[in-house]
Amino acid sequence: MSNPDSIGRVYLVGAGPGDPDLLTLRAARLLTSARLVVHDGLVEPAILAMAHPHAKLVSVAKRRAHHTMPQEDICALLVREALAGNDVVRLKGGDPLVFGRGGEEAEACRAAGVPVEIVPGISAANAAGAAAQIALTHRDHASVVSFVAGQCKGLSDQDWSGLAGVGRTLVIYMGVKTAPQIADKLMADGLAPDMAVAVIENAARPEMRVLRGLLAGLPDLVEDNRVKSPALIVIGEVTRERDADIAALAVEANK
């Protein structure tokens, strides 16, 4: 795949929530044939294990508040490799364009004249909805779903008014550490303290946990259960466990 006489291509590939079965076929094909894979920290070892045996794997792992490689350097790396004639598979957790900074990487490539292809992935919200059996837009309970980022930086500046409440589902990425501020912010916006919430940790992975509670109790729910990233917070009526669901699960369990 390396040809110094021509420019390589950058593939921004969504790796989904961590289960290799949830890769798209296109992602799996690119991964198994790529010679250079640049990945971030959210990508599971089981997925990286699918890479070609001769592939070079480069980690640009990012953890909250600890950037091993600044975003500009990641962009520069992708461009440099492509201009040297190498195709690059840039593997990102979930979907590359949902809180993944894929937009910036695609811009950097386009600005340098490097062709980019974007391969969508299953975002954490979709994975968590399916795995926890929470219908993000259940017809009886919500007709709107919003995705927001809950990390510290800029949280107080973000205007979430109207995104959560009756008839709406709010999915919060990167909100574990800021759960107390998130609960306060939403209640200050007028949300009822007894609005239903769920926290889904490690969605679609074997170690997944689904915790349910009420908005006022969200900080305790996170702290008492020692919830760790990656986890999503979902706010809305759709997360409330209903008698019918519980009955169905009981039937399932007794089979």
Q: How far apart are CA 104 and CA 110, in angstroms?
A: 10
Q: Residue 117 CB: number of other CB atoms within 10 A?
A: 14
User: Please, which residues have CB within 8 angstroms of residue 121's CB and are 6 or more apart in sequence?
Assistant: 13, 14, 15, 16, 23, 24, 27, 92, 93, 94, 95, 96
Q: Which are the catalytic amino acids?
A: 40, 62
**Shortest distance (Å) from residue 234 CB to ligand SAH:** 10
**Could you give the C-alpha distances from 123 to 17, 43, 83, 159, in angstroms and in order?**
7, 12, 30, 23
Single residue of 18, 129, 213, 236 touching ligand SAH by CB under 6 A: 18
SS3 211: strand
Question: Residues 67, 40, 83, CA angle at the centre, nearest 5°?
Answer: 95
Comparing C-alpha atoms, which of 92, 102, 103, 99 is closest to residue 42? Answer: 92
How far, rounded to the nearest angstrom, does the alpha carbon of residue 124 sit from its chain's CA centroid?
A: 4
> What residues between 164 and 183 interact with ligand SAH by CB under 6 A?
173-174
**Shortest distance (Å) from residue 148 CB to ligand SAH:** 11
* # binding residues, ligand SAH (CB under 6 A): 25
Comparing C-alpha atoms, which of 107, 192, 99 is closest to residue 146? Answer: 99
Single residue of 31, 231, 234, 238 touching ligand SAH by CB under 6 A: 231
For the record, the structure tokens of 25 come out as 């076929």
Reported as type and span, the H/E element at residue 222 is helix 218-224
Nearer to ligand SAH, 7 or 131 (CB): 131
Nearer to ligand SAH, 42 or 78 (CB): 42
Nearer to ligand SAH, 86 or 178 (CB): 178
100 binds ligand SAH per the rule CB under 6 A: yes
42 binds ligand SAH per the rule CB under 6 A: yes
Stretches 52-60, 189-197, 227-235, 244-252: which one binds ligand SAH (CB under 6 A)? Answer: 227-235
Place of tokens 């089981």: 46
Nearer to ligand SAH, 88 or 131 (CB): 131
Residue closest to ligand SAH (Cβ): 94
**Shortest distance (Å) from residue 47 CB to ligand SAH:** 12
Single residue of 34, 74, 78, 95 touching ligand SAH by CB under 6 A: 95
Single residue of 10, 11, 17, 37 touching ligand SAH by CB under 6 A: 17
Single residue of 128, 183, 191, 211 touching ligand SAH by CB under 6 A: 128
- Interface with ligand SAH (CB under 6 A): 17-18, 42, 92-95, 98-100, 123-124, 127-128, 173-174, 200, 202-205, 229-232
